[in-house]
Chain A
Amino acid sequence: MPEEKLSGAVADLIAKIRDKDPKVRAEARDNAGNVGAPAVKPLSSVMTDENFEVAREAERALWKIVRHAGRPKADSERKAVVTELIPLLGDIQPVRVRREAMWMLSEIAGDEAVAPVAAQLSDKELREDARMVLERLPGQRSLAALQMALKTVPEEFKINIAQSLRARGVSVPGLPSQKLVPTRKTDVKPTE
């Protein structure tokens, strides 16, 4: 998004997040919460900046917005941020952005995020994050999405879904927990 088209507070935030001085970036990040939903999409664009420090501060500024919007008695702010986050799960977004957006939604979203997150289960790179986010999202709709996923995901991923269902209190026969099953062999030889 061209910065000249952004509103004053958002443009100022983005400019400072791109600043060469880390202290300016950090101050902007720390004050991002009040800028709120209008800054979500512009910040997500900076999350893939070639300067990895700038990209990281954009991501952290976005988290500041999510943490601020999730406070008690701020439901309209929270919903506005959720509304801006959901489109960041779209296929055209970079994996990094989609992954972070899912985790942000896991903290503040309700049922409206379930279908967009569940759609990520079809992406091999993101399906484990999607599974974990569905596990955290409260309510029957996320539980139903996990139960549906047990029927639709590839065979090798069903065991992961079973883990989340158990965490949600659902019995999953036929897919026993693998948590105590060792799998990783070492090349280090025992010392005599």
Chain B
Amino acid sequence: MKNEKRISRRQFLATCGAAIGAPYLIGSGVLAEAGRPGANERLTTALIGAGGRGRGLLDEIRRSKIADFIQCVAVNDVDENRLADAAKWESRWAKRPVTPYRDYRYILERKDVDTVVIATPDHWHAVQTVHAAECRKHMYVEKPACCTIEEGKAMVAAVSANKVACQVGSQGRSQPEAYLSHRYLVNGNIGHIDKVWCFHYPSPVDNNPVPDSEPPPELDWDMWLGPLRWRPYNRRYLPGSFRWMMESGGGQIRDRGAHVMSCAMWWMGADGTGPVSVEATGTSPPRGVWDSAVTMNVTYTFKNPDWVMTWNQQEGNAPPAEERKPGEDRIERPGYGAVYHGTKGTFTHWGGDGGTWAERKAREWVPPAGAKDVYRSPGHWEDWYEGITTGKKTIMNIEAAVGVANLCVLGNLSFLLGRELSWDQTKREIVGDEQARRLVGRPQRHPYHL
């Protein structure tokens, strides 16, 4: 089925592929010209998790260069009100009926669905990615990839075994200033880098705690929980605030850490590697149901080559945002990013997700003859599309994404246990700590399992 739907590389390069080579020289009017596949050659997609983020992702596709190559034919949510809203909204853009589903597995059964966009809470990412891969769907899945080490292993195995393209939503790697940062750093402009200091503001505290209660009638609470062990509904769990629950979200380190540390691993050439030790300290919330660390300091020690990355989640620790000239992109998210320390100087970037802003010296650096170049993403969606159509690795492929998510997972695990962890990157195992070793996976509720 996928091969029949696959758009040839020639077709792809003739359209958005042309833009990959020079994305800022070709306007959208030119891109809309001939050479695109007809409507009946479009890939189909389905949205799994139709909350604000999921709907935002489909809006992003419509604004991207692949807008004409992909169309939504189904939406899923476990909240009937959100599902109805999403179906109605997507139907405005669709040339085919958009079918609503409460159970995403109906979507995976459909032979006419080529791809899925997964934007559910984190605790669903791994199960749905594995299921989608096993049903031979290409997938875009929101970050962080996994909630446990074992989930990550299963995701990598499923995507690889089924030969599908997976793009994980750490969009920072695809941003124009991320490319400039990467190129600046790999050309030795700040010398040998031995420390990356990531900064972020704290996770919030639930200042309006409420008792557990019955779920609202429109919500399928059992299916929202999915693989998580059962607990009573509490309206402070969702929507959105799942982010502050350790089991379903994991706080800022898993939310923005999966962006900022994604940039670091990419720019340091460290994808596929991992630390030898992880040590976290921090503070827990003084009240409320949310249990993610409010403040947090995590040290990741890498060996061969030796370098250290730290995650610093504190109030007021961000370096001042760079002043930008009129006409330059304004830094919209100065509260997080990273400072790279090298033997010849430092380099700072702000943001790290869909907004990534590089310090001026990287933006103004003119590569001399013989300078190293690095991969320049055509855009996160476009890169995924190229992965689907050509089989190339996506920029935030599942192996890299799991590697970054594992950093977040290990940081939280060290915080929860209150001790340093030793990590064997080759085996993806915690060493010398039986309790921690048991927590690299978690049993999943029937039938929502990997």
- A residues adjacent to B (C-beta < 8 A): 22-23, 25-26, 29-30, 33, 52-53, 56, 60, 67-68, 70-72, 103, 106-108, 128-129, 131-133, 135-136, 138, 159-160, 163-164, 167, 177-192
CB-CB < 8 A to A26: which residues of B?
Answer: 284-287
CB-CB < 8 A to A107: which residues of B?
Answer: 435, 438-439
Besides A180-B105, A184-B223, 14 more A-B contacts (Cβ < 8 Å) are A22-B286, A25-B286, A26-B285, A60-B284, A71-B417, A71-B418, A72-B434, A129-B229, A129-B230, A179-B447, A179-B449, A184-B102, A188-B80, A191-B91
Is A108 a contact partner of B447 (Cβ separation < 8 A)? no
CB-CB < 8 A to A52: which residues of B?
Answer: 209, 211-212
With A184-B220, A191-B88 in contact, is A177–B447 under 8 Å at CB?
Answer: yes
Is B84 a contact partner of A133 (Cβ separation < 8 A)? no
**B289: Cβ under 8 A from any A Cβ:** yes
Is A30 a contact partner of B284 (Cβ separation < 8 A)? yes
CB-CB < 8 A to A23: which residues of B?
Answer: 286
CB-CB < 8 A to B291: which residues of A?
Answer: 60
How far in angstroms is the closest Cβ of chain A from B266? 33
9-residue interface stretch from B93-101, B181-189, B378-386: B93-101
Is A164 a contact partner of B98 (Cβ separation < 8 A)? no
> Complex: how many Å from CA A163 to CA B80?
29
Is A180 a contact partner of B444 (Cβ separation < 8 A)? no
Closest 4 CB pairs of A and B: A70-B435, A132-B443, A182-B105, A184-B103
Residue in contact with A180 in the complex, picked from B134, B285, B417, CB distance below 8 Å? B134
CB-CB < 8 A to A188: which residues of B?
Answer: 80, 83-84, 87, 100, 102
- What 0/1 readout, one digit per residue, does chain B (433-449) give for beta carbons within 8 Å of chain A? 11100110111111111
**B364: Cβ under 8 A from any A Cβ:** no
Is B449 a contact partner of A190 (Cβ separation < 8 A)? no
Residue in contact with A71 in the complex, picked from B80, B91, B419, CB distance below 8 Å? B419
Is A135 a contact partner of B443 (Cβ separation < 8 A)? yes
Nearest A residue to B74, CB-CB: A190
Is B103 a contact partner of A163 (Cβ separation < 8 A)? no
Q: In residues 202-244 of chain B, which contact A (Cβ within 8 Å)?
A: 209, 211-212, 220, 223, 229-230
Residue in contact with A163 in the complex, picked from B106, B285, B446, CB distance below 8 Å? B446
**B135: Cβ under 8 A from any A Cβ:** yes
CB-CB < 8 A to A177: which residues of B?
Answer: 447, 449
Is A164 a contact partner of B83 (Cβ separation < 8 A)? no
How far in angstroms is the closest Cβ of chain A from B259? 28
With A52-B212, A179-B448 in contact, is A136–B105 under 8 Å at CB?
Answer: no
How far in angstroms is the closest Cβ of chain B from A96? 9
| Interface pairs (15), CB distance under 8 Å | A22-B287, A25-B287, A53-B287, A71-B435, A106-B438, A164-B443, A178-B446, A179-B449, A180-B105, A181-B105, A182-B103, A184-B220, A188-B80, A188-B84, A191-B91
**B131: Cβ under 8 A from any A Cβ:** yes
> Complex: how many Å from CA A107 to CA B289?
22
CB-CB < 8 A to B416: which residues of A?
Answer: 67
CB-CB < 8 A to A190: which residues of B?
Answer: 87, 97-100
With A26-B284, A187-B80, A188-B84 in contact, is A160–B418 under 8 Å at CB?
Answer: no
Nearest A residue to B288, CB-CB: A53
> Complex: how many Å from CA A160 to CA B212?
27
CB-CB < 8 A to B223: which residues of A?
Answer: 184
> Complex: how many Å from CA A181 to CA B131?
11
CB-CB < 8 A to B418: which residues of A?
Answer: 33, 67-68, 71
How far in angstroms is the closest Cβ of chain A from B50? 10
Is B102 a contact partner of A185 (Cβ separation < 8 A)? yes
> Complex: how many Å from CA A145 to CA B230?
22
Residue in contact with B443 in the complex, picked from A29, A72, A133, CB distance below 8 Å? A133
- What 0/1 readout, one digit per residue, does chain B (269-301) give for beta carbons within 8 Å of chain A? 000000000000001111111010000000000
> Complex: how many Å from CA A152 to CA B223?
27
**B368: Cβ under 8 A from any A Cβ:** no
With A107-B435, A190-B97 in contact, is A128–B105 under 8 Å at CB?
Answer: no
